[in-house]
Amino acid sequence: MRQAYFGRPQAGFTPGGAHVAVYLVPVFAGRLTVFEVTAPGVHGRWLPWTVMEYGANPYETAAALADDWCDGAISALEVADVLSFPFDADGWELAIVYRAELTSLPPGDANRRPVLFARGEADAIGPFDPVDLLRWVERSPACDPGAARAGGEPLVF
C-alpha cells in the first residue's frame, strides 16, 4: 500500500503528483451560486477554487477565495466536506470544500458572471455531482449517524 506522502512544493501540477485544493460552494438565499467563466483558455461554469499554498491554513485560503470571487459578502464560512479525487493520469487531489453563505449576489467581473440556480437544482460542476452540491447547499450530512436501524435503535459507529 502506498502512503500519501507529499514531495517538495512545486510551481505547478506534476505527473503522478498530489495537491490539496480548496473549493467554495457559494449559497445565496438557499440557492447554489456558480460562475460562468470566460477567461482566456477557460470557459464554462465553475466554483471558486484554488490549490493551497504550501503550509497554508485551509480556512484562510477559503476566506481569500470568498473575498476574491464573492466580494467578501459572506455571513458564514464552514467546512462542508473533504473528498479525494484522481487527478490527470495518476495524480491525486485532496479537496477541502467550504460552504459560503452569501449576504448578496457577487457582482462578477469581465471574466466571470455569477449564475444563480433555482432552489433545489444543480448541475455537475467540476468534479462534483449535483447530489453533493445540493447536500452542501442544504447543509445535509452525507449520512445521518442517528438514523434508526430496523430494530429502532440509533446506528452508532
**Is residue 107 predicted with pLDDT exceeding 60?**
yes
Q: Supply the mean pLDDT for the chain.
A: 87
Between residues 132 and 41, which one has the greater pLDDT? 132
Select 18-137's CATH number: 1.10.40.30, 3.60.150.10, 3.30.450.30, 3.90.79.10. 3.90.79.10
**Confidence (pLDDT) at 157:** 47
How far, in Å, are 54, 99, 151 from residue 58 at the CA level?
10, 13, 41
Domain residue ranges in the chain: 18-137
